[in-house]
Amino acid sequence: MPIEELSQRAWQLVEPLYLERLAGLVDTFGASEARGQAEGDLAGVARAAREGRVATLLVEAERHIPGRMDGATGRIEFDELANPEVDDLLDDVAELVMKGCGEVVVVPAERMPTRSGLAAIYRY
């Protein structure tokens, strides 16, 4: 069986489980946000990721926000990708979350609970 066909068949089995889990995470984000234990503001999430407070980070697939993040403070600066010193802020935040033993889940744009490109559920 060609690898592409195997991949398609595997996704057919996994997709319903992924969508069910994703719906639960989106619901958890909404409930946690109402209690002040989640947010979708990039600057706030970057600081929380730096502090190791992000338990789960939802990141919008195919979205890029160019800029720089200070790893020591979590402070962000927006810029243009044409600048060689600029990276994708969503990727930088996701890396910090993973370093802090948090979970990162890539989410299709139509299922994102925020418009900012990310949504964080905090540990505390």
Q: What is the pLDDT of residues 49-61, one digit of tens each?
A: 999 999 999 999 9
The domain containing residue 66 runs over which residues? 3-122
Domain of 64: which CATH number? 3.30.1330.30
Helices of type H across the chain: 3-34, 42-50, 89-99
Q: What is the pLDDT of residues 73-105, one digit of tens each?
A: 888 989 877 777 788 999 999 999 999 999 999
d(CA 86, CA 4): 34
Q: Span 31-56, mean pLDDT?
A: 96
Number of domains in the chain: 1
Q: Which residue has the higher pLDDT, 75 or 26?
A: 26
For residue 72, name the pLDDT band (cuts at 50, 70, 90).
confident
pTM: predicted TM-score of the whole model, two decimal places: 0.90
- pLDDT score for 12: 96
